[in-house]
A = this chain, B = another copy of it.
Amino acid sequence: MNASKKSHCKIVDCTIRDGGLVNNWDFSVEFVQHLYNSLNEAGVEYMEIGYKNSPKLLKGAEDAGPWRFLDDDFLRKVIPQKLNTKLSALVDIGRVDENDILPREESMLDLIRVACYIQDVPKALELVNVFNSRGYETTLNIMALSNVMENQLLEAFELIEASVVDVVYVVDSYGSLDPNDFNYLVSKFQKYLPSKRLGVHTHNNMQLAFANTLISVEKGVEFLDASVYGMGRAAGNCPTELLVAHLKNTKYNVRPVLDMIEKHMITLREKEEWGYIIPYMITGMLDEHPRSAMALRNSDDKDKSVDFYDKLTTPEVLHSK
């Protein structure tokens, strides 16, 4: 019905990278290959196939699946034939070894995205410079924007606007933002970053991930993060199938995404948990990191959401924020 016919959008499917936060990146090669082929047939522009952090710089993660520390030789075996869908990887400040990053012409990756908190924007832009000079498309993903003060943001905008980064992301890390908030933030980013393209990464704590993405599309945002069946940490992300179905671009086709869901995601969701679950709704409404809710969900008290709500809203806890 009356859907946006914007053809400027590019979907970045984060099922493996963000979904890996749910299952410790325990995806089989067959799963990832099926996803890549499905996304390609669906017309999805990018697949974020994991993190490009270095295992040397992230201790205690030795048991994680290979998508947490992408290796170029391994990737070439997984995807022997690149199709239309480009490949992306995310890196975190302080966890990536620049020496691991091949020049783009020798790499399977097209896009490298740098995630950081507001105070690390200068460091993030140094990394962006390195990846840009090696030929990659780059994005800067500023996390936890709901907790950033205006003056910090304006300082960061100056640095970003002067940088070589291609795309700047509005990231609703806690799933606490509503369509009005996205409207406001996207307008602000557009005002202060006139030379940059914009992206959004939403979370579904309050069942607003898809709606917040749609409002951003209306405002001209180009890069839309999503994941199949919404798989992602805690409440998860904007579902890829909804974007592909609703953005009435003739290049998109929802059928291959439905196939991926039928073949893999339904059974995966029976084993692993993500989505609209009350403790995540509570951290979203309180504008908090979901870690306390994740701990609750891993305990015997996982459905005791009234106690959980009381703890998070007692004056002692509020004052220690």
Residues of chain A touching chain B, judged by Cβ–Cβ distance below 8 Å, are 1-4, 146, 176-181, 184, 204, 206-212, 214-215, 218, 239, 241-242, 245-246, 254-255, 258-259, 261-262, 266, 276, 278, 281-282, 285, 287, 303-306, 309-310
Contacts and interface: CB of A to CB of B under 8 A. Distances in A.
Contacts of A245: 206, 281, 285
A179 B305 CA distance: 30
Contacts of A255: 306, 309-310
A306 B259 CA distance: 6
B181 A1 contact: yes
A306 B262 CA distance: 7
**Residues of A contacting B: mostly:** helix
Nearest to A210: B207
Contacts of A239: 207
Contact of A208 (B181, B184, B211): B211
A140 to B, nearest CB: 22
Contacts of A304: 262
Contacts of A276: 276
B211 A281 contact: no
